[in-house]
Chain A
Amino acid sequence: MNMNVETPKEPVDAMTFQLPEELQVKVKTRDVNVHYGEKQALFDINLDVPANHVVSLIGPSGCGKSTYLRCLNRMNDIIDIARVSGKIELDGLDIYDKNIDVVELRARVGMVFQKPNPFPKSIFDNVAYGPRIHGLADNKTELEEIVVTSLQKAGLFDEVKDRLKDSGTGLSGGQQQRLCIARAIATRPEVILMDEPASALDPIATAVIEELIDELRQNFTIIIVTHSMQQAARISQYTAFFHLGYLVEVGDTEQIFTNPVDRRTQDYITGRFG
């Protein structure tokens, strides 16, 4: 099966695709290489993410899509052996610049993880934690407002409004994930990174999350890693296909799924490997 896949020896130029001129570029990635110790995980990634759109990152396991995602809010910093080179800009600002405060960056670039990971605290405290440590609210009323708005935006408020004091870990899986989304948007980020946010959820909860992502697009730029190609097709406007550490192809989601340029993309979306 894998015979058809040719391992690229040379970096692939994925920049054949140009975003439409009128779109504002939110996250700009240029020549990003990531090493884990001796092993190189990403090779010369170039990618533009337009503001207020959903971009899906797809590709087989171990292709580097999560690694790329974690570069965008510098989560790789906590891995001792990880080394990132190249340039990633958020609104024209180099996020790997020495003067960038990583704490502030992570408030501006929120993240939702694969497994719902609410803090073992109350629902309210889960959402209020970010605003509290960043001092986003001056008083209790403001904080409550942020919490309520965030929960509303995450579509969870109506389900939990009577038990904000209950533990966040007592919610169902889907609710927990929406709580994590509420927690992420409570710090008023500009970009939300989602690392397979629905992979641990049942189809109904997944559908709720997908709807939510579509709504969140109004206010946030969303970059989502997903294993499900149907999901990528349903929720994203642009799709990037990663393979073995290379960004193979970027394009309009429809074009990627109907008329991919690269052979590997075609093999992947038709289910020949991955």
Chain B
Amino acid sequence: MTDILDHQIAEPDSLANPRHDWASDNARRRIKKRYGRDRLLRAFGLGAVITALMLLAILIASLTYTGYVAFYTTKVKVDIFLDPQIIDKENPGKTKYRKITKQAFYAYFPDVKNRKDKRNLSKILSSGAQYIVRDYVVAHPEKIGETVTINLPLSDPFDQLHKGVIPRWIDAAGKNGGNGEKMLNPRFKSEKVLVWFDNLVARDMLSSPFSWELFVNADSRFPELAGLAGAFTGSLLALLVCFLISFPVGIAAAIYLEEFAPKNRFTDFIEVNINNLAAVPSVVFGLLGLAVFINFFGLPRSVPLVGGMALALMTLPTIIVSTRAALKAVPPSIREAALGVGASRHEVVLHHVLPLAMPGILTGTIIGLAQALGETAPLLLIGMNAFIPSIENLGLMEPATALPTQIFAWGDSPERGFVSRTSAAILVLIGFLVMMNLVAIYLRQKFERKW
């Protein structure tokens, strides 16, 4: 109390002489404090940015670290005699190639006689190897009767072993108490198969070419053959449907709300709800799609049409909100100018406001679509996580899967190869998102105009 009184008594003096002493210690300290706070704020901001960047870098680095091995496949060069006795020349696609493939591979290990050993030996090759031979013959029917060299993928454990992802021996700790004992990795049947594998390595039959399978194959039970083509096509189809629905509907709704709707309780209510919709969890939109499109309208499950429609529900609020913001950002002077020369309201919107708002609208749309591309939950609910082993039968009304659901499915698989495949698929998805954002930036800069 006395302090305050003293202060008040001191006040009149300083008022009597209003000139502030900028050189006083107090003033200096205050200035110093101010700058200190400036620096603190800047340091906090910078720290936040650096943290975010570091987390992103860690994410990308870990994905790359686990995922890069999926970009190449271990393959073994095998000479195969395309026996005209076995292969049906008229219809080479119908023949069973399992035997031809196995026999050709056994030929490299003449010592292996025992049936059980042979079976184990054949497990070094991917189970899909026979289909690769089949596809080769179908593509080159003139080679029937000749001996050809085909690069066949190894099965997953050997692929991973060659890539150095899994060890041959593991600690037996899990089994009998951790006394430093080693045991054979249970992914391998016996030590013999490892000997055979080393034999292949020694004979320089193995190579690690770039894995086109990852991009051109559809899904497979065998990780060495599983690819993203099916999921990619499914995602594209769903996004196309999503775009075709949400873009026109979103823009129309935004134009109505922004340019034509009267400002009253009802439109306020709509506005609040659209903003709320943008924050609704995507799984809810999936449920809505399930209930309305599949259960009520009886559309088939798992198809990109329904997936796209569910994603469109989710994207619509984003597009409406960003379009309204873009329309609002068009200066009123342009509207007045157009009205002033006698343009009708639709001419004002279509000739002037919409073209000027286009960069913003496109940016918002692409960001909405990028969100939709990465969305998993609604697709899972409408069943768009089908197992698609072939890209031949893909269409709007055919069962399909999408990139995020494919990642989800792979991430759930026990085979070691799917671990790196999952990371690689995430990298592909992220690459796709980055590309979409680059397109958004490009469009924004291209259409940006000054007024």
**Residues on A facing B (Cβ under 8 Å):** 73, 75, 78, 80, 103-107, 110-113, 115, 117-120, 129-130, 133-134, 169, 180, 183-184, 186-187
Report the minimum CB–CB distance from A116 to chain B (whole Å). 9
A111 to B338, alpha carbons, bound, how many Å?
10
Verify B339–A78 contact, CB threshold 8 A.
yes
Q: How many A-B residue pairs have CB under 8 A?
A: 69
User: A115 to B343, Cβ gap below 8 A?
Assistant: no
A105-B342, A118-B337 known, 10 other contacts, Cβ within 8 Å: A78-B339, A80-B263, A106-B341, A106-B342, A117-B331, A117-B333, A117-B336, A119-B352, A120-B449, A187-B342
Provide the bound-state CA to CA distance between A115 and B334, in Å.
11
Residues of chain B from 45 to 66 with CB closer than 8 A to chain A in the complex: none
A44 to chain B, nearest CB (A): 27
Q: Which residues of B contact A180 (CB under 8 A)?
A: 337
The answer to whether residues A134 and B451 also contact, given A115-B333, A119-B334, A180-B337 and a CB cut-off of 8 A, is: no
Docked pose: A104 CA to B336 CA in angstroms: 16
Size band of the B side of the interface? Answer: 20 to 34
Query: Does the CB pair A133–B343 fall under 8 Å?
Result: yes
Per-position binary interface string of chain B over residues 329-362, scored 1 when its CB falls under 8 Å from any chain A CB and 0 otherwise: 0010111111111111001000110001000000
The verdict on A104 contacting B337 (CB below 8 Å), with A80-B262, A119-B352, A169-B451 known, is no
Query: Quick check: is B450 within 8 A (CB to CB) of the other chain?
Result: yes
Q: Assess whether A119 is in contact with B337, with CB atoms less than 8 Å apart.
A: yes
User: In the complex where A119-B352, A120-B450 touch, is A110 in contact with B336 (Cβ < 8 A)?
Assistant: no
12 residue pairs of the A-B complex, CB under 8 angstroms, read A107-B341, A113-B340, A117-B451, A120-B334, A120-B451, A129-B341, A129-B343, A133-B343, A133-B347, A134-B342, A180-B337, A187-B342
Contacts of B334 in A (CB 8 A): 117, 119-120
Which single residue of chain A is at the shortest CB-CB distance from B333? A117
Cα distance A110–B343 when bound, in Å?
Answer: 11
Please pick, from A80, A111, A134, the residue contacting B340 in the complex, using a CB distance under 8 A: A111
B42 to nearest A CB, angstroms? 37
In the complex, which residues of chain A have a beta carbon less than 8 angstroms from the beta carbon of B341? 106-107, 110, 129-130, 133, 183-184, 186-187
> Are B342 and A104 within 8 A (Cβ)?
yes
A113 contacts B339, CB within 8 Å? no
Would you call B337 and A117 a contact (CB within 8 A)? yes
A103 to B343: give the CA distance in the assembly, Å. Answer: 6
What residues on A are CB-neighbors of B449 within 8 Å? 120, 169
For the residues of B in contact with A, the DSSP-based class is helix
Which residues on A sit within 8 Å (CB–CB) of B344?
Answer: 103, 133
> Which residues of A are found within 8 Å of B347, using beta-carbon distances?
133
Q: How far is the CB of A113 from chain B (nearest CB, A)?
A: 6
In the bound complex, residues from chain B placing their C-beta under 8 Å from that of A169 are: 449-451
- Could you tell me which B residues sit within 8 Å of A by CB distance? 262-263, 331, 333-344, 347, 351-352, 356, 449-451
Contact of B342 among A103, A115, A118 (CB under 8 A): A103
Smallest CB separation, B60 vs chain A (Å):
40
Residues of A within 8 A of B336 (CB): 75, 111, 113, 117
A115–B337 Cα gap in the complex (Å)? 10
Contact of B356 among A80, A120, A187 (CB under 8 A): A120
Chain A: CB-nearest residue to B449: A120
- What's the Cα separation between A180 and B340 when bound, in Å? 10
Tell me the smallest distance from the CB of A238 to a CB of chain B, in Å. Answer: 23
Name the CB-closest residue of A to B337.
Answer: A117
Shortest distance in angstroms between B350's beta carbon and chain A's nearest beta carbon? 11
Minimum CB distance partner of A183 in chain B? B341
Residue numbers in B under 8 Å from A186 (CB-CB): 341
**Measured between C-beta atoms, what is the minimum distance from A229 to chain B in Å?**
26
**Given the complex, which residues of B lie within 8 Å of A130, measured CB to CB?**
341-342
Are B338 and A119 in touch, CB under 8 angstroms?
A: yes
Q: Are B333 and A113 in contact (CB under 8 A)?
A: yes
Q: Which residues of B contact A104 (CB under 8 A)?
A: 342
CB-based nearest A residue for B264: A80
Residue of chain B at shortest CB distance from A134: B342
Of the listed residues A115, A129, A186, the one surrounded by the most CB atoms of chain B closer than 10 A to its CB is: A129
Q: Which of B331, B340, B343, B352 contacts A75 (CB 8 A)?
A: B340
Residues of A within 8 A of B343 (CB): 103, 129, 133
The distance from the CB of B337 to the nearest CB of chain A, in whole angstroms, is 4
Cα distance A184–B341 when bound, in Å?
6
Task: Using A113-B336, A133-B347 as known contacts, say yes or no to A107 and B342 having CB atoms under 8 A apart.
Answer: yes
Q: How far is the CA of A110 from the CA of B342 in the complex (A)?
A: 8
Minimum distance in angstroms from A200 CB to a CB of chain B: 11
**Ordered nearest first, which 5 A-B pairs have the shortest CB separation?**
A107-B342, A130-B341, A106-B342, A117-B333, A111-B340
- How distant is B343 from chain A, measured CB to nearest CB, in Å? 6
Nearest-Cβ distance from residue B13 to partner chain A, whole angstroms: 36
Q: Which residues of A contact B451 (CB under 8 A)?
A: 117, 120, 169
A183–B333 CA distance with the chains assembled, in angstroms:
14
Closest to B336 in A: A113
Asked whether A184 and B340 contact (CB < 8 A) given A113-B333, A117-B333, A169-B451, the answer is yes
Say yes or no: B333 contacts A106, CB within 8 Å.
no
User: Which residues in A have their C-beta under 8 angstroms from that of B351?
Assistant: 129, 133
* Measured CA separation A110–B339 after assembly (Å): 10
Which of A106, A107, A169 is the most central at the interface, judged by chain B CB atoms within 10 Å of its CB? Answer: A106
Residue of A at shortest CB range from B340? Answer: A111
The minimal Cβ–Cβ distance linking A132 to chain B, given in whole angstroms, is 9
**Do B339 and A75 touch across chains, with their CB atoms under 8 A apart?**
yes
Q: How far is the CB of B365 from chain A (nearest CB, A)?
A: 21
Contacts of B335 in A (CB 8 A): 78
Complex-state Cα separation, A169 to B337, whole angstroms: 13
| Bound CA span A171–B351, Å | 21
Of A75, A103, A117, A120, the most chain B CB neighbours within 10 A belong to A117
Chain B residues lying within 8 Å of A105, measured Cβ to Cβ, are 342
CA distance A98 to B93 in the complex (A): 78
